[in-house]
Structure 1
Amino acid sequence: MLDFSRLDFSNLPEMNKERFVYIDALRGIAIAGVIIVHSASITNVNGLLKQAASLGSMGVQLFFVISAFTIFYSLSKSNGSATQFRDFFIRRLFRIVPVYWLGIVLYTAVYGLGSRGWLDGPELWHYPFHILLINVLHPLTSSSVVPGGWSISCEVLFYMLVPLLYVYLNTSKKLIGFLLIAMVLLPVLNIMLQNYALVHWSGIDRVQLKDFFYRWIPNQLACFTFGILLYKIYEDKRYAGWVSGRVVNLIGVTLIVLALFALQLYYIKIPERIHLYSLVFMCLALLLSVVPWTLFVNGFTVFLGKISYSCYLIHFLVIKQVTVVIGNYFPVLTGHNKGYFLLVLFLSFLITIPLGWLSYTFIELQAVNLGRKLITYLNHTATHEKEMSDLKKSNVKGGKIANP
């Protein structure tokens, strides 16, 4: 049996002296939830099990909260650097793009232009959208080539906003004001645009249109903003004293778990449920940062969190192929609704985790290290050019003639 507590993460990328182990654990919980909900979806499980599994769909919003937190924390450590944002984009480019492009190749090799298991297959014109990671900007392309690609595209579009948000949201007042805009004004405009599109945008299925307006960045922006708020509260540190007691912290965590299930019954449009879930996730992260309860923060969730990106892109393929094998060779099992779901879920975890680890080790890490080398090279070149420029200026001031 694997002992995840013995795994050494000290040589993995983005390891700082201050390591956010609970953040990795939350990533692990997020990807576990996503695998659960997609296993439930493809097996058509019903009843209470379906309702419980549907909570896993909020794993994407948990990823968004965590992503914004880590990005703003990382930028704060290089604040004032002339290459701060350039280095940020290089790191993100090498972190996200290679694995996503591999996903494009992999899913095309397996399915061609056929369905990936959830939606109709892509058309050729969809591919440029996915290659450029702007696929979430069209209702038909969001997840057509790479299943789940909409969330990666949404993440990349958020990266484009990061420099502006980092510079502008420099006070608590501005941040809260922006959060209110993202939670109230943007959803109102989103509903108006959706209603207009449902009437005037012909040729696109109504379900696809609704999915589009749910998925695109204006509707998800508040989720990222809660991650920014998480960073601001974390940096302030005052919250830690309020929840440092284990009893108080445990009560808070218990209330959060209850809130996660209670929000399943929430049907009011504004504020949207995904935004309230993001608020709850922010609170959970703050509590775990003070008391990392083993139920949430343990060797397995931390390990799963480290490989979560690769697992996210691979698990769709795994789940689909598992159902194909079971349907072809053990069709009798598909007649037992709950048992079929649990079997698919178990096998999906069993296969996705080692494949995710291989992708993480041999693709993600290599790409991240290549990005680091590029940053080092560019910074070294810039430093050398500055030194030469300063030397020439010094020679001119000293009345010396520099060699041609």
Structure 2
Amino acid sequence: MEAARFYAASSIMLFHLTVMSDLPTNILSIYILNYAAMGVPLFFIISAMGMCIGYFGKLETEGSIKDFYMRRFLRIATFFYVMMLLYIIMLPVFGDSGPTLGQFLASATFTMNLVPSYVEGYVWGSWTIGVEMIFYLLFPVLIVLASNLRRALVIFIGATVLATLWRNEFVDVKGPLQSFGNFFIVVQFHYFAAGIVAFHVWRIAVRLCPARVRLIGLILLVISCAATVSLVVFGFWLIFAAGVFTSWKLNHTIVYFLWATVLATFTIGMCLAPTKLLSSSLVCHWGRASFGIYLWHPPVIAGYSKLGIYRAIFALANENAEVSFLLGALLTFATVVPLSLASFRFIEKPGMALLQLKHGRGAGQPERGGSR
């Protein structure tokens, strides 16, 4: 699961490299632009599944629920508040006046997802944190409602249809309401629901003998990777065909359902059959710092663009768009990962240890449930 988080964070970083840097467009970046943003839904699925693994059957008392909320808050808030302060200093450098009082308060209270004008947050990419925090708030109820696979599937299917209906209402809307239509929890919730379904499938699978568990995991990994390639290659035609044979207002339901299913299948496979190829100790180590990778990469990309670093790489690569993009991606990765590992060690881990110290437990005790 830690490795899967790393892949999700890296995918989002590559997506933002295509839209935020001044590297020239190329065949590789076009595919990344169209599909790498699916790293966000993968994050949501991993988050839901990880929390179910950590908390299923354990949120039955007032004390355990309070403990859960405090853990979730500390998991996100400690590092996020540091980034909020950094952005106040950094934004004027990029020609932005900085956050208004309303933007600052919405981000500080994690309520930006509920306010159309503030839904994106002033920390770049923080709209997902607003979504995540609402999911945390709802989780103790959801884990009761989706107590088995059948109930979880019903919630997932219903949430997928609701996401389509919601987005259809914002098709012709512009400005802040367009972002609200795309980022509000209603249009993202089916991915969390898919993560809960993934948990119940995983829970059933792990009861089998170890050899069969690993075989099932490998099969799911192969299926999910093949399905991902198919969705990338044939995604446009799938949407078109769905519109012809079903309804143009509901055709995206099929696509949402398929992507959520494929990403959930990938996550289950990663958990059932961790392989050295996909889940090496180094990748898992980087995955623990995935929250930092997610928050550090936008200012790094913007900074390198402002300094002309990517343009220099393009020149050094003899103006080869594909080569310069790969070199730019490697440079960004080589910068973001060390920053993320440092912030995880010196900011995130001490923040998560605060609750353990309050209860008199050692700071080294692992946290229940998944990180972002």
1:133–1:153 contact (8 Å) kept in structure 2 = yes
Deviation at 1:46, TM superposition (A): 3.0
- Cross-structure match for 1:32: 10
Q: Does 1:66 align with 2:46?
A: yes
1:96-175 equivalence runs, <5 A = 96-112=76-92, 114=94, 122-175=99-152
- For 1:236 and 1:328, how far apart are their aligned partners in 2? 48
- Cross-structure match for 1:217: 185
Amino acid at match of 2:124: P
- Cross-structure match for 1:395: none
Amino acid at match of 2:263: F
Q: Percent identity?
A: 22
The CA RMSD over aligned residues, in Å, is 2.9
Q: Give 3-state SS (helix, strand or coil) of 2:252's partner.
A: coil
Equivalent of 2:157, from 180, 193, 196?
180
- For 2:38 and 2:63, how far apart are their aligned partners in 1? 35
TM-score scaled by length of structure 1? 0.76
- Cross-structure match for 1:384: none
Q: Deviations over 1:12-44 (max 9, x none)?
A: xxxxxxxxxxx0010111111111111122235
Amino acid at match of 1:236: I
- For 2:145 and 2:217, how far apart are their aligned partners in 1? 33
Is there any run of 5+ residues in structure 2 with no aligned partner, and where? 240-250, 362-372
Q: Does 1:305 align with 2:305?
A: no
Amino acid at match of 1:165: L
Gap change, CA 1:182 and 1:376, over 3 Å in 2: farther
- For 2:182 and 2:32, how far apart are their aligned partners in 1? 20
Equivalent of 1:342, from 315, 326, 348?
326
1:244-255 equivalence runs, <5 A = 244=212, 250-255=218-223
Gap change, CA 1:188 and 1:369, over 3 Å in 2: same
1:372-387 equivalence runs, <5 A = 372-376=356-360
Amino acid at match of 2:225: V
Gap change, CA 1:42 and 1:79, over 3 Å in 2: closer
| Stretches (4+) displaced over 6 A | 245-248
- For 2:112 and 2:93, how far apart are their aligned partners in 1? 16
Q: Give 3-state SS (helix, strand or coil) of 1:296's partner.
A: coil
- Cross-structure match for 2:27: 48
- Cross-structure match for 1:381: none
Question: Is 223-232 or 269-278 further displaced after alignment?
Answer: 269-278
Q: Deviations over 1:111-157 (max 9, x none)?
A: 238567xxx96444321111111222344423341000001111001
- For 1:249 and 1:234, how far apart are their aligned partners in 2? 9
- Cross-structure match for 1:389: none
- For 1:324 and 1:222, how far apart are their aligned partners in 2? 37
- For 2:154 and 2:324, how far apart are their aligned partners in 1? 47
1:233–1:239 contact (8 Å) kept in structure 2 = no
Gap change, CA 1:343 and 1:170, over 3 Å in 2: same
- Cross-structure match for 2:198: 230
TM-score scaled by length of structure 2? 0.82
Question: Is 322-331 or 88-97 further displaced after alignment?
Answer: 322-331
Amino acid at match of 2:258: L
- For 1:115 and 1:136, how far apart are their aligned partners in 2? 25
1:312-391 equivalence runs, <5 A = 312-326=294-308, 330=312, 333=315, 336-376=320-360
Equivalent of 1:266, from 227, 235, 238?
235
1:322–1:347 contact (8 Å) kept in structure 2 = no
Deviation at 1:52, TM superposition (A): 3.3
Amino acid at match of 1:353: V
Q: Give 3-state SS (helix, strand or coil) of 1:105's partner.
A: helix
Amino acid at match of 1:178: I
- For 2:109 and 2:14, how far apart are their aligned partners in 1? 29
Q: Give 3-state SS (helix, strand or coil) of 2:2's partner.
A: helix
Residues paired across the two proteins, number:
343
Q: Give 3-state SS (helix, strand or coil) of 1:300's partner.
A: helix
Q: Deviations over 1:193-245 (max 9, x none)?
A: x14x72xxxxx52xx54333122100111100111111112222368569938
Is there any run of 5+ residues in structure 1 with no aligned partner, and where? 1-22, 199-203, 378-404
- For 2:311 and 2:162, how far apart are their aligned partners in 1? 52
- For 2:79 and 2:335, how far apart are their aligned partners in 1? 18
- For 1:352 and 1:82, how far apart are their aligned partners in 2? 39
2:116–2:180 contact (8 Å) kept in structure 1 = yes
- For 2:168 and 2:188, how far apart are their aligned partners in 1? 13
